[in-house]
Chains A and B, each alone.
Chain A
Amino acid sequence: MKLSSMFLLGVGLMCLPVQAQFHPIGSTKPLPESAVPNIVMAVEDEIYDYKQEKSFVNIGSTGAIGVATQVPIYIAKSISDRNIGWVLYKDMPHGEVLRRFIIQDDGLVVLYGDPELDFPAQQPDTKAVYLDDEDICKFISTAMKTTFTVDPNVSNQRIADAEKRQMRRVHYSFRLDQSDPQKK
């Protein structure tokens, strides 16, 4: 029986908790170590492309007043057979976010969620504030911890690299779109 019709039939299922009703599909595998730098790069690229680098004041190792800051990031140690993983980090000015990512065949990592939509509660890629505290603590305790860097004085070359990779990832660059003379 098809999954959708199976669920539509079952008014009785409404009594069961959501997680008990819907079983995961597929299998898992360990997160390849080689993917970690690309995950970090995807996070940094998005921050630079959306001009968020000056929003990290009082966050991370230095507080980001004029100098680069190191910000913790937590990455789930397993990914799905579809190369989907999960990451938790402070994405200022949005706040702490839990997001999915996908590792493409060429190794490039694409983050789920559109920063301009501000990670709403009803989407899987959401702000930690919408989630239960215990679940966040559990995620942090089981994930691997590393850091990403945000430099408020990021170089033009680094920004250009970020724009280029964002175009590859999502066919869109916020900075390039904003600087489009046709939009002014």
Chain B
Amino acid sequence: MWQLSENSRLGFRLAGNTLHQGFGAGKYLIGIGDTASVVRYAWLESLKAQQQNKEVNTVYNETSGLRPDTASDPNSAQNLQTARQNVAHVYENTNGNGFQSSDQLSGREKSAIKNGDPTATASMASSQQAVAAAHQDRTDPTHGATHIYLYDLSPNSTQRVPAWVRNGNPTTVQGPFINAAGGGDVRAGSLVLILTIKDQR
């Protein structure tokens, strides 16, 4: 009985039919089955880790240029963490399809992390935490949002808000955050909001 259920669990249903060939053959098949299950488990775990890495990279790519604007909001750092978590929720709501950007890190960002740039490493740690928190939080504060959008608040902003943003429903808004450019020498930067947006249906 144990052998049958175990075989079934391992996906070797036909193994039960071969038991008449003797315990030796059965044990052999179970042995093969165990090895196969270990390999399959490792493969699935590897896929899961790769998927999670893509999600972390996406959250990082979208938000690594942002810095808390503590001058206008003392809770800005916490809000940025929440914003990253919201981005992770949108990733999960769309299986990553809501993002045109790469789910790989660019050479610039890999280099920054490798060289221990404090802002880049902090952004990566924060992105990892955000993805982990989004996995645990099944309530989805973005209410099923399918897009994110960074909205520039510059007074001369010529950012052209596309129709899919104008027509969509913003479900969460975090910010403003300082959008820095460059490798850290820039003390000021553009002020931006992060919106999560749900398509109008």
> Which residues of A approach B to under 8 Å, CB–CB?
2-4, 7-8, 13-14, 17-19, 21-28, 76, 78-86, 98, 100-102, 104, 110-112, 114, 116-118, 120-124, 130-132, 135-136, 139, 168-172, 174, 177-178
Whether A117 pairs with B61 at a CB distance below 8 angstroms is yes
Whether A82 pairs with B189 at a CB distance below 8 angstroms is yes
Segment among B28-36, B41-49, B147-155 that sits at the interface with chain A: B147-155
Interface residues of B in 80-99 (CB under 8 A from A): 99
Q: How far is the CA of A100 from the CA of B181 in the complex (A)?
A: 9
Whether A28 pairs with B160 at a CB distance below 8 angstroms is no
Picked from B107, B174, B186, the residue with its CB within 8 Å of the CB of A110 is B186
The 6 A-B pairs at the shortest CB distance, nearest first, are namely: A171-B183, A116-B106, A135-B160, A120-B100, A7-B173, A120-B101
- When each residue 168-201 of chain B gets 1 if its CB lies under 8 Å from chain A and 0 otherwise, what string results? 0111111110010111111011111101000000
Picked from A76, A81, A177, the residue with its CB within 8 Å of the CB of B111 is A177
A to B CB contacts below 8 Å, 22 in the list: A4-B174, A13-B170, A22-B193, A24-B156, A25-B153, A25-B191, A78-B156, A79-B156, A84-B156, A100-B190, A117-B106, A118-B102, A120-B101, A121-B162, A122-B149, A122-B150, A124-B152, A124-B159, A139-B160, A171-B184, A172-B183, A174-B107
Q: How far is the CA of A85 from the CA of B157 in the complex (A)?
A: 8
B55: A residues at CB distance < 8 A? none
Interface size, chain B (Cβ < 8 Å): 59
Whether B173 pairs with A130 at a CB distance below 8 angstroms is no
Q: How far is the CA of A7 from the CA of B46 in the complex (A)?
A: 40
Picked from A4, A8, A139, A172, the residue with its CB within 8 Å of the CB of B112 is A172
Q: How far is the CA of A18 from the CA of B156 in the complex (A)?
A: 16
Picked from B160, B161, B166, B186, the residue with its CB within 8 Å of the CB of A104 is B186
- When each residue 9-20 of chain B gets 1 if its CB lies under 8 Å from chain A and 0 otherwise, what string results? 000000000000
Q: How far is the CA of A10 from the CA of B98 in the complex (A)?
A: 24
- Flag whether B117 is at the interface (Cβ < 8 A): yes
Q: How far is the CA of A123 from the CA of B87 in the complex (A)?
A: 13
Q: Is the interface of A mostly helix, strand, loop or mixed?
A: mixed
Beyond the given A18-B166, A80-B190, could you list 7 further A-B residue pairs with CB under 8 A, ordered by the A residue number?
A14-B171, A28-B156, A104-B186, A116-B106, A122-B99, A132-B160, A171-B112
B72: A residues at CB distance < 8 A? 2-3
Whether B156 pairs with A121 at a CB distance below 8 angstroms is no
Q: How far is the CA of A169 from the CA of B183 in the complex (A)?
A: 6
Whether A131 pairs with B151 at a CB distance below 8 angstroms is no
Whether B162 pairs with A132 at a CB distance below 8 angstroms is yes
Picked from A21, A80, A118, A136, the residue with its CB within 8 Å of the CB of B160 is A136
Whether B152 pairs with A171 at a CB distance below 8 angstroms is no
Known A27-B155, A76-B158, A110-B181; contact A122-B62, beta-carbon cutoff 8 A: yes
Minimum CB–CB distance from B11 to chain A (whole Å) comes to: 40
A124: B residues at CB distance < 8 A? 150-152, 157, 159, 179, 190, 192
Known A7-B173, A112-B190, A172-B112; contact A22-B151, beta-carbon cutoff 8 A: yes
Q: How far is the CA of A54 from the CA of B145 in the complex (A)?
A: 40
- Flag whether B1 is at the interface (Cβ < 8 A): no
Q: How far is the CA of A100 from the CA of B160 in the complex (A)?
A: 12
Minimum CB–CB distance from B130 to chain A (whole Å) comes to: 16
